[in-house]
């Protein structure tokens, strides 16, 4: 097994900056690893080897000349979810409708990573327009869970999570609307962070549901996750919903003591429906937290039971509006057999979108239509406020919240495709944070008896990512989960 691919982002950067490794060597090692295992995981939609090696060579030249201003991510190649645009690199969002779309600009997140010296391995697979929890809704192919190739990696950022878990990338970007970073991170045994709404610019993140969308990092350690957030976070003039509040120092205090922190256990998160093996690991983690000097406090988030219902009204409503732009006029697929403008729109969208996207557009259009708007969209928006208020009240009593990331272990490919409602329930513990706008982090906390990853979740008040990362880091060190080798690495 390739030793370089097992290094952390921190360590890769250090070796490149101290000239122990060249950026080209690092990149080549990851490309080799992808070549070797992506046939199993199918995490990548496209690997950009040529551009990567060109950029790495350029970086090495600058390092050799001594003129390089060291960045937070110098020489580190990352995987990028295909919902985030990179100039000149095909961005499909896992959809046929964008099969040939070449973005003319970089997302702010990409610009920031570039400015810190990061390189890009390629674009990772995802559910079409990020709608899904298994990556099976990709118009191209499903991705496999590296721990069980017959299981899903979660979604929609399944490709990013699988790539990081399978050592194909040291870190990745994902995006979330209702759980799409945290849930695949959980299923693949990696760390995933959904920052506060507005903490990271959404400029260049293809819109799904604009009041919920947020992009964020996936990595194998909390430290690396903090490093990526440090590069990404901060105000951006090109996204008016991005907060003007400057980014905090996420790395500086990450080692600090967590003694005395009050950690809330929402009663609603530990009821029926939670897999017993997951619950068992969480109980162990709670003891560890107590051992670290945290005070565990029971709290209540009484509107939790409405979260999925609210989410599946608000998200499709916003999606139906955001996806109106794919009409065959400006970019993307255009149907070749149409008679007039109306049929051009109709055939283009019928051919270009998959079943789940069409379902969301129909639901979204329905809940926004006159006569139904008050009963559905407006009502959901009001209950959303109640849910957010639950959180605000809980955070008057505690610093952070602790619970599961997912109700179940990774399920098999095909197991839930015929039952959208079952699939939607994958997000019961994640979607509330998107609705409330608060940050959440998925942390690996062990493996099931079948060898599948188990994850716990921490949530924090708005813009408290530094505290969130600090507790996650302390717990990660305390749990010291031992990572078994991947099935395809055992020969
Ligand atoms: N699984 C959820 C959905 O299908 C969330 C997806 C996401 O966070 N992008 O909408």
Average pLDDT on 45-51 reads: 98
Reply yes or no on whether the pLDDT at 1 is more than 80.
no
CA dist 221 and 116 (Å) reads 19
Reply yes or no on whether the pLDDT at 368 is more than 70.
yes
pLDDT digits (tens, 9 = 90+) for 100-155: 999 999 999 999 999 999 999 999 999 999 999 999 999 999 999 999 999 999 99
Using DSSP bridges, classify how beta strands 440-447 and 453-459 pair: parallel, antiparallel or unpaired.
antiparallel
Reply yes or no on whether the pLDDT at 404 is more than 80.
yes
Ligand 1 binding pocket mutation candidate from 84, 160, 178, 442 (most atoms within 8 A of CB): 178
Q: Give the distance (Å) from ligand 1 centre to CA of residue 210.
A: 13
Instruction: Answer yes or no: 350 catalytic.
Output: no
| Residue 315, ligand 1, Cβ within 6 A | yes
Average pLDDT on 63-70 reads: 89
Reply yes or no on whether the pLDDT at 330 is more than 90.
no
Ligand 1 binding pocket mutation candidate from 125, 130, 308 (most atoms within 8 A of CB): 130
Instruction: Answer yes or no: 81 catalytic.
Output: yes
pLDDT digits (tens, 9 = 90+) for 153-204: 999 999 999 999 999 999 999 999 999 999 999 999 999 999 999 999 999 9
Centre a 10 Å sphere on the Cβ of residue 476 and count the other Cβ atoms it contains. 19
Instruction: Answer yes or no: 418 catalytic.
Output: no
| Residue 145, ligand 1, Cβ within 6 A | no
Residues 6 or more apart whose CB falls under 8 angstroms from that of 2 comprise 29, 32, 33, 167
Q: Return the higher-pLDDT residue of 433 and 337.
A: 433
- CB of 117 closer than 8 Å to CB of 165: no
Q: Give the distance (Å) from ligand 1 centre to CA of residue 131.
A: 5
Q: Which residue out of 22, 27, 138, 156 is catalytically annotated?
A: 156
Helices 23-41 and 9-17 pack at an angle, to 10 degrees, of 150
| Residue 405, ligand 1, Cβ within 6 A | no
Residue 338 confidence (pLDDT): 86
- CB of 145 closer than 8 Å to CB of 162: yes
List domains and CATH numbers for the chain. Answer: 4-268+275-301+392-483 (3.90.1300.10)
Max distance between CA atoms of the chain, in angstroms, equals: 70
- CB of 154 closer than 8 Å to CB of 142: no
| Residue 469, ligand 1, Cβ within 6 A | no
pLDDT digits (tens, 9 = 90+) for 50-65: 999 999 999 999 999 9
pLDDT digits (tens, 9 = 90+) for 241-282: 999 999 999 999 999 999 999 999 999 999 888 999 999 999
CA dist 291 and 151 (Å) reads 35
Edge-to-edge strand ranges of the sheet holding 440-447: 44-47, 119-124, 77-81, 171-176, 214-219, 191-194, 440-447, 453-459, 400-404, 262-266, 295-299
Reply yes or no on whether the pLDDT at 411 is more than 70.
yes
Q: Look at phi and psi of residue 185 and say left if phi exceeds 0, alpha if psi is from -120 to 50, else beta.
A: alpha
Q: Which residue out of 81, 123, 194, 467 is catalytically annotated?
A: 81
Helix segments in 90-210, DSSP class H: 108-115, 158-165, 182-188
CA dist 377 and 365 (Å) reads 10
Reply yes or no on whether the pLDDT at 382 is more than 90.
yes
DSSP state of 482: -
CA dist 187 and 153 (Å) reads 6
Q: What is the mean pLDDT of the chain?
A: 97
Reply yes or no on whether the pLDDT at 422 is more than 90.
no
Q: Which residue out of 180, 201, 320, 455 is catalytically annotated?
A: 180
- CB of 161 closer than 8 Å to CB of 187: yes
Residue 491 confidence (pLDDT): 66
- CB of 409 closer than 8 Å to CB of 279: no
């Amino acid at each position: 097994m390739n030793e370089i691919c097992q290094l952390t982002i921190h360590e890769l950067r250090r070796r490149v900056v101290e000239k122990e490794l060249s950026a080209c060597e690092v990149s080549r090692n990851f490309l080799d690893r992808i070549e070797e295992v992506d046939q199993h995981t199918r995490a990548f939609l496209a690997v950009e080897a040529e551009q990567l090696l060109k950029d790495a060579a350029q970086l090495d030249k600058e390092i050799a000349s001594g003129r390089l201003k060291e960045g937070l991510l110098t020489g580190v190649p990352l995987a990028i979810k295909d919902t985030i645009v990179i100039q000149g690199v095909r961005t499909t969002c896992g959809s046929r409708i964008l099969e040939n779309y070449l973005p003319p600009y970089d997302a702010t997140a990409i610009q920031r990573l570039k400015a810190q010296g990061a390189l890009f391995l390629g674009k990772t697979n995802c559910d079409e327009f990020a709608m899904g929890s298994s990556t099976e809704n990709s118009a191209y192919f499903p991705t496999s869970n590296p721990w069980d190739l017959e299981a899903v990696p979660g979604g929609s950022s399944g490709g990013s999570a699988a790539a990081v878990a399978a050592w194909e990338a040291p870190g990745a970007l994902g995006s979330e609307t209702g759980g799409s970073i945290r849930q695949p991170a959980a299923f693949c045994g990696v760390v995933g962070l959904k920052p506060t709404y507005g903490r990271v610019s959404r400029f260049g993140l293809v819109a799904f549901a604009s009041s919920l969308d947020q992009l964020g990092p996936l990595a194998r350690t909390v430290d690396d996750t903090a490093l990526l957030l440090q590069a990404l976070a901060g105000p951006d003039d090109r996204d008016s919903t991005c907060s003007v509040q400057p980014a905090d120092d996420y790395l500086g205090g990450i080692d600090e003591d967590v003694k005395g922190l009050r950690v809330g256990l929402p009663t609603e998160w530990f009821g029926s429906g939670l897999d017993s093996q997951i619950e068992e690991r969480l109980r162990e983690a709670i003891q560890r937290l107590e051992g670290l000097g945290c005070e565990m406090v029971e709290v209540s988030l009484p509107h939790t039971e409405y979260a999925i219902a609210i989410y599946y009204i608000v998200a499709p409503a916003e999606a139906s509006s955001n996806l109106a732009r794919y009409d065959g006029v400006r970019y993307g697929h255009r149907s070749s057999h149409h008679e007039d403008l109306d049929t051009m729109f109709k055939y283009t969208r019928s051919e270009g979108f998959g079943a789940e996207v069409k379902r969301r557009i129909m639901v979204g259009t329905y809940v926004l239509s006159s006569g139904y708007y008050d009963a559905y969209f407006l009502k959901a928006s009001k209950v959303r406020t109640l849910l957010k208020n639950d959180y605000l009240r809980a955070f008057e009593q505690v610093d952070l919240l602790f619970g599961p990331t997912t109700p179940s272990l990774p399920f098999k490919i095909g197991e839930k495709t015929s039952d959208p409602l079952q699939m939607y329930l994958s997000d019961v513990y994640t979607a509330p944070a998107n609705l409330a706008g608060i940050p959440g982090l998925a942390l690996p906390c062990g493996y099931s008896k079948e060898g599948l990853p188990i994850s716990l979740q921490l949530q924090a008040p708005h813009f408290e990512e530094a505290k969130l990362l600090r507790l996650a880091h302390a717990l990660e060190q305390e749990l010291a989960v031992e990572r078994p080798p991947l099935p395809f690495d055992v020969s």
